[in-house]
Structure 1
Amino acid sequence: MEQTPDTQGSLPRTAAATTPENPWPLRVLSEKLKAHIENSPESWVEGQLLEANIRNGHAYLTLRDVDVDYSFSVTVWASVMRTLDIAPEVGARVVARVKPSFYTKTGRLSLNAFDLRPVGLGDLLARLERLRRALFDEGLFDPARKLRLPLLPGRIGLITGRNSDAEKDVIRNATLRWPAVAFDIRNTAVQGVNAVPEVIAALRELDANPQIEVIIIARGGGALEDLLPFSSEDLVRAVAACGTPVISAIGHEADRPILDDVADLRASTPTDAAKRVVPDLVEELANLAHARARLDRAVRTNVQREAQRIASLRARPVLANPQSIIQGRGEDIERLSRRGTLAMRSSLARGHDSIAHLRAQVRALSPQQTLDRGYAVVTADGGGIVRSAGDAPVHSLIGVRLAHGQLNATVTSSNVPAPSTNSPQHTQTLTNKGQSA
């Protein structure tokens, strides 16, 4: 509706200039909002179709975000519908080229779609691979940042669907392996738009509980579209920031959501997660029995070996008869004593023989031995030895020492022989004469 110049001049030009005394009519605000909203450019959006009503060739759709509970009404006019390859179906995941539209009479905001395309499996896989590569480049998949699982967790957090087969498989198999296992279960949506926020909320609640030592996120198999929440970037980053070890047990062996790459341990199935989170009691008891047997065998072997060593030591003569060492040493002393005595006696005998030989030699050379052979020693009255007849003049007293006893005699006659030319006296006389000449 057009306004008169007077009316237009009296209205505030901007919303900030309005007052209780000078407000805008509602139609002015609606028209301004319509002009502002419909000036927005076209954009491509993605979502899932919750409603699809087709009347008179027009399609009236409700498009919801794939991760959070946001929705928008979308209108596809008949002219656009005729250009589409397939008709919109409830549950389909689509991308649409839309532009906002504001209906002033009811204040209703909606989107007008000018193109609508289904998201194919190839497109989904390509987008997931791009996201997987980006998260890998950030280092979220680095094995060095993954946490080690406890050997025997005291309490396990389990995030899964309510009354799901995955929940039953995990609890049944874990209990069979370790009957004392305890679970703290959080039932959440595991597909659809509510899955991501509910799983993230349960994950953060369990991570904040200090009694929870490991968390299992489990879901049964399904189509790729059903498992898409477990490739959500928000959920992947929440698991990466979790301080408690997380096990991903989504789908079957062939399923590979991005959650498997960022989790601390990837289990092929929920049953596999139950087998890997707790040890097998039967196996552990068998290992314990085996270890006990090995320990018992090792102790017995060691005792037997030491007993054999002790028996070997006791069998030695020194321990069997400790006096044998003393006896042996006593025998050695006696043998050495006998050898010393024999050596001493032999040495003494040789000494006696040597002394007797020397005594014989001395006796053979002594004057007494000469006297014993019949010789005599003649001494003058003055005590000197008479060597020549000239030394004892006639009528002089002499002494004669025999082998036995001594005689005193008087020289009655003397026969002094002429000096010989070879005698020492004659030679001395000739020498004296030569010197006088």
Structure 2
Amino acid sequence: MQEANTLAGAGAPQPRDIDYQMWGRQQVPRFARDTTAEEPWPVGLTSHQYAGAVSRWPGCWVTGQIMQIDMRRRGSVYITLRDNDEDVSMRVIAFGEPANQAFQLGLKQGDKIVLFGRPEVWEKQTSLSFKATQIRRCGEGDLAERIDQLRRRLKGEGLFDEANKVPLPEFPRCIGLICAPGARAEGDVKTNASLRWPIIRFKTAYVKVQGPDCPREVIHAIEQLDADPEVDVIIVTRGGGSFEDLIGFSDEGVVRATAACRTPIVSAIGHEDDWTLIELAADYRATTPTGAAQAVVPDVNEQWNIIANNLAALDTLMDRTVKVEEGRLAGYLSNPMLTNPALMLDPLEEKLKHQRETLLNSMIRLVDYDTSSIESSVATLTALSPQSTLDRGYAIAQTAQGHVITDPTSVADGEEVTVIVSRGIMTATKTAASVRQ
């Protein structure tokens, strides 16, 4: 009876005499019915009383579908188990051998399991969990199987192909943000993006991020931001949640709208261990909203460092170039040819003089040769001319008509003939002729 009274409501009839007990250093009512606004129970005592009452609840076998599972630490497992038919879930913990069973079974989201255990209250947070002592798998979850079938079908259509991915802009000016109103994810993205790139602007489309209206609103937001020419990149984000909470982002319409989006789109849904189909169709998958902000905008400090390093490298290159050119100029200035430019003309003048002498000698030899040739020709012509023959005492006899007489019988007796000798012409009359045989 006393144990039942421990959890009795504070509104129960109050007796005049209160049975006190000690909690820590203070005196408090023994039973819940004795607490008042003036004499309440401390939080620690309340949690302790609840834990004591829950520890006497009976153990039982429970079945459901895994919505979330955390097996990152060996020897401990944390599961969110959902009812197979109702929208009800419970937190399951397992340590030691039951946790090892979960590791060996390779449990994952969507698996149907059956387990035995007892309810337990963690007094530090007064949180109720079901502590499992045995865990067995009893099949794949229907919801997870349907999503996996959709994944395989859309993959066969090429919606997840790497060739369809659009690269993120290097220096975006405006981010289109799709999130729930007042969500922490919105603040994470905007704060981190603004810290990294202060000139960034946002256009935010608020949507429901779970429930039956989620897919329709997300599709509309994607299409709206994709049509906005000012939006350079789109981020779809929400915080973590159960597998069921995130199911809207595995909707076929959402996945197709993401794949068809011409603007680069980033998914930042849940935490690193969570998965949805929108991640496969997005151009980039960020594990957290903060990671999305870091992925889409550059770090202004890094950019300033890059500029500073490039300026320093440019200064070094310019200094080196100037020094090289100064050394080259100093070499020119110390060159005798440049200090006394006339020296450069001396070799050319000497060469020109030599070429003039060579040309003159060639002309003289050519004239001498031609003169000799002419003289030889003149001598030959002179020797062969008729005048030379006449000078040797020969004469040329011609008829009155000017024909040379070679046969005396061709001239009649008494006919006048003209005789040409070396120093003149005379006329004669033929009286007789003799022919030399």
User: TM range, normalised to the smaller chain?
Assistant: 0.3 to 0.5
Larger Rg: 1
- TM-score normalised by length of structure 1: 0.48
TM-score by structure 2 length?
0.48
